[in-house]
Amino acid sequence: MHAVKPKSRSSALIVMGFLWMLGQIWPATALAKEPVSFKEDIFPIIQIRCPECHLPAGEGYKKSGLDLRSYEGLMKGTKFGPVVVPGDAFTSNLNVLIEGRASKEIQMPQHMKKLTSCDLDLFRRWVNQGAKNN
């Protein structure tokens, strides 16, 4: 079986870009199988990057009602609804906000450096694995 070769360099770049984008949204199967822990992987990132705004006295909490002091607060979501759809990182508002797929005014974290690609991958995998309190 032969691989299909693009007819031009620009076609090859488009294909490579599309494959890269898919890899950003859906992690490789091998990585997706490694369990991501809320307590060991996700919560430490939240504690470092989010407490300034998403505690009861913070601006993010006042605007949205999202309390990131615990797993329960994250899963409760905002006054507008849930932010995590267990098993579906593509439609989870949490992922949309931290991955930069939302409008600039509501992308997270605000007023801080964006999360690293490794951090984003952890959140994506955690949500896709069911967003468990593990």
pLDDT tens column, 1-46? 445 454 555 555 565 556 556 665 555 555 557 999 999 999 999 9
In sequence order, which residues have a C-beta less than 8 Å from that of residue 12 and are 6 or more positions away?
A: 6
The confidence score (pLDDT) of residue 10 equals: 57
Hey, what are 94's tokens?
């949490």
Q: Are the CB atoms for 52 and 58 separated by under 8 Å?
A: yes
Among 4-8, 53-57, 98-102, the range scoring the smallest mean pLDDT is: 4-8
* 8-40: burial string, b at 16+ Cβ within 10 Å, e else: eeeeeeeeeeeeeeeeeeebeeeeeeeebebee
Q: What is the pLDDT of residues 64-73, one digit of tens each?
A: 999 999 999 9
Chain position carrying tokens 């859906």: 26
Q: Which residues pair with 78 in a beta bridge?
A: 81
**Which is nearest to 108 in space by CA: 121, 122, 93?**
93
Hey, what are 67's tokens?
């309390």
| DSSP code for 81 | B
| DSSP code for 42 | I
Hey, what are 110's tokens?
């605000």
- The domain spans of the chain are 28-128
